[in-house]
């Protein structure tokens, strides 16, 4: 008879990532970002924006976006919100100033590590391997490691993570700004890896699309046995 051995890695995976909740103290400046995005999402839905906004309010407005809408419609709303961040011709200027090369990828990784802590929590830049040509790989400092995503932890919603963060952000950088970006959320420990300079995979090959719903946690879950999450239907 052979005995099974539980490794430290196995134990870590089995832990409930939602059990220990991170506590944040948002500054007035960070709350301005929450206010802006909450207002813009509300406007895109044709609703009155909330007045007093904190992170919980921001998350609830996000739930309103995805409730009763197809994944395509939810993604479109977020894409419109992102589009409002840029003045006319800004995307063309970005492509001119930041062509898809190592410098642009590393600079945007650095900017992301400082500019989006309010949204996703602590981040750090890391080295990643980028295929610059067939069979040719270089090490760039263009990766951003999100230690424990605040957005995913607070929303407890796989659909919101994929449709309102991962896909719109990948689309913004890869297709509109011309700088490839791949986001790889880890739904077991709530971390996420962002890789500037790496083309995102086709949806049919993206591992995120096989992710089960957090059915006992997500307030917009439809059942206890959703695998994959019903909000990951790319065609609806």
Report which secondary-structure segment, H or E, holds 150: helix 150-155
Between CA 105 and CA 127 the distance in angstroms is 11
Report pTM: 0.87
Cα–Cα distances in angstroms (integers) from residue 15 to residues 12, 152, 184, 222, in the given order: 5, 16, 20, 24
What is the reported pLDDT for 224? 58
* Mean pLDDT across 80-103: 91
Domain limits, the chain: 27-232
The Cα–Cα gap between 48 and 63 comes to: 15
Backbone angles phi, psi at 63, to 5 degrees: -60, -40
What's the rounded mean pLDDT across residues 208-229? Answer: 80
Q: Please give the residue that has the higher pLDDT: either 47 or 234.
A: 47
Q: For position 12, what pLDDT does the model report?
A: 47
Residues 222/230, Cβ–Cβ less than 8 Å: yes
Rounded to 5 degrees, what angle do the CA atoms 143, 148, 154 make? 130
Higher pLDDT, 215 or 129: 129
Closest CA to 109 of 85, 81, 145: 145
Q: Average of pLDDT values for 28-39?
A: 95
pLDDT at position 3 is 41
Does residue 193 surpass a pLDDT of 50? yes
Res 213 pLDDT > 60: yes
DSSP structure class, residue 165: I
Confidence of residue 6 (pLDDT cuts 50, 70, 90): very low
Q: Give the residue-averaged pLDDT of 56-72.
A: 93
Q: What is the pLDDT of residues 109-166, one digit of tens each?
A: 999 999 999 999 999 999 999 999 998 999 999 999 999 999 999 999 999 999 999 9
**Phi/psi of residue 65, nearest 5 degrees:** -65, -45
| Whole-number average pLDDT of the chain | 89
- The whole-number pLDDT of residue 201 equals 93
């Amino acid at each position: 008879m052979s005995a099974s051995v539980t490794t430290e890695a196995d134990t870590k995976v089995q832990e409930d990532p939602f059990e220990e909740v991170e506590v944040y103290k948002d500054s007035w400046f960070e709350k301005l970002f929450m206010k802006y995005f909450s207002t813009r999402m509300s406007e895109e839905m044709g609703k009155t924006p909330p007045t007093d906004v904190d992170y919980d309010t921001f998350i609830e407005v996000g739930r309103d976006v995805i409730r009763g809408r197809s994944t395509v419609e939810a993604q479109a709303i977020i894409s419109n919100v992102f589009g409002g961040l840029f003045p006319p011709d800004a995307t063309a200027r970005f492509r001119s100033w930041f062509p898809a090369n190592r410098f642009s990828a590393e600079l945007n990784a650095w900017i992301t590590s400082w500019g989006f802590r309010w949204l996703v929590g602590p981040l750090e830049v890391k080295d990643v391997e980028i295929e610059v040509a067939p069979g040719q790989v270089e090490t760039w400092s263009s990766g951003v490691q999100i230690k424990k995503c605040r957005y995913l932890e607070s929303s407890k919603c796989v659909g919101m993570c994929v449709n309102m963060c991962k896909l719109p952000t990948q689309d913004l950088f890869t297709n509109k700004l011309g700088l490839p970006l791949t986001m790889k959320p880890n739904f077991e420990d709530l971390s996420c890896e962002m890789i500037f300079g790496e083309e995102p995979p086709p949806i049919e090959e993206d591992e995120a699309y096989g992710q089960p719903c957090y059915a006992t946690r997500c307030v917009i879950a439809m059942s206890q046995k959703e695998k994959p999450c019903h909000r990951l239907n790319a065609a609806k």
